[in-house]
Amino acid sequence: MNFQLFPYGNARTSGPVGGLYQFSCQHGTNECIANMYQACAISHFNTTTDNVPAWWPMVQCMESSRSPATAAQSCATNAGLDWSVIDTCAGSDPAVGTAADGNPLMYSVGQATNNLVPAHQWTPWVTLNGKPLSSSDLDKSLVSLVCAAYTGPSPPGCNAKKIQLDYLVDEQ
């Protein structure tokens, strides 16, 4: 399975102005900052262990937080990622990113989002076998949806009596 995450949502890109693109996020500057931290983590820690990308625990942690941008550093550290690499990529203005790394990276994430087929209509925009999940599907377990759609021999994770999710949701 090829899993890609584009931390861009319904953002918009303008520019470049002075050599830098500007990003405007649906939910404000903190969303742009969280997107940048995630994009930097995905770019710089794109290795896998047991088929799990190294950046995935950080993203899960951030997404379960009420303030993803604020949680980024502790989430990265808890995931075993070197925060200084992410922070250097994002730079002193993480809503914009550094000219050499974060800014062109976020521009490419925006381009990838804008070029999705079918085009995204809401967030999160998830496709499975080229077909977008409905808004009601988004309330279901992604693992269950993947297992239901899988056409090959059933992987061990799909054969379990109860599918174990690898994250916890803060119920506060």
State the sign of the Cα–Cα–Cα–Cα dihedral 66, 27, 39, 102: negative
Residue range 120-157, pLDDT digits in tens: 888 877 777 778 888 788 788 877 888 888 888 887 77
What the block records as the tokens of 11 is: 């953002």
Whole-number average pLDDT of the chain: 87
Among residues 85, 11, 6, the alpha carbon closest in space to that of 38 is found at 6
Judge whether residue 163 has pLDDT over 70.
no
Quick one: pLDDT band at residue 160, thresholds 50, 70, 90?
Answer: low
Q: 168 burial class (0-12, 13-18, 19+ CB within 10 angstroms)?
A: exposed
What the block records as the tokens of 59 is: 């993203």
- Segment holding 20, helix H or strand E: strand 20-24
**Cα(100)–Cα(110) distance, integer angstroms:** 17
**Percent share of the chain, pLDDT over 70:** 91
Residue range 88-110, pLDDT digits in tens: 999 999 999 999 999 999 999 99
Quick one: pLDDT band at residue 84, thresholds 50, 70, 90?
Answer: very high
**Cα(102)–Cα(138) distance, integer angstroms:** 29
* pLDDT value at residue 156: 76
* pLDDT value at residue 131: 81
* pLDDT value at residue 2: 64
Strand partners, 127: 132
CA angle 158, 159, 160 (to 5 degrees): 95
The DSSP 8-state label assigned to residue 138 in this structure reads G
User: Between these two residues, 161 and 160, which has the higher pLDDT value?
Assistant: 160
Question: pTM for the full model?
Answer: 0.83
Judge whether residue 162 has pLDDT over 60.
no
Among residues 82, 58, 85, the alpha carbon closest in space to that of 72 is found at 58
User: Where do the H-state alpha helices sit in 66-155?
Assistant: 68-78, 83-90, 102-114, 142-149
Residue range 29-45, pLDDT digits in tens: 999 999 999 999 999 99
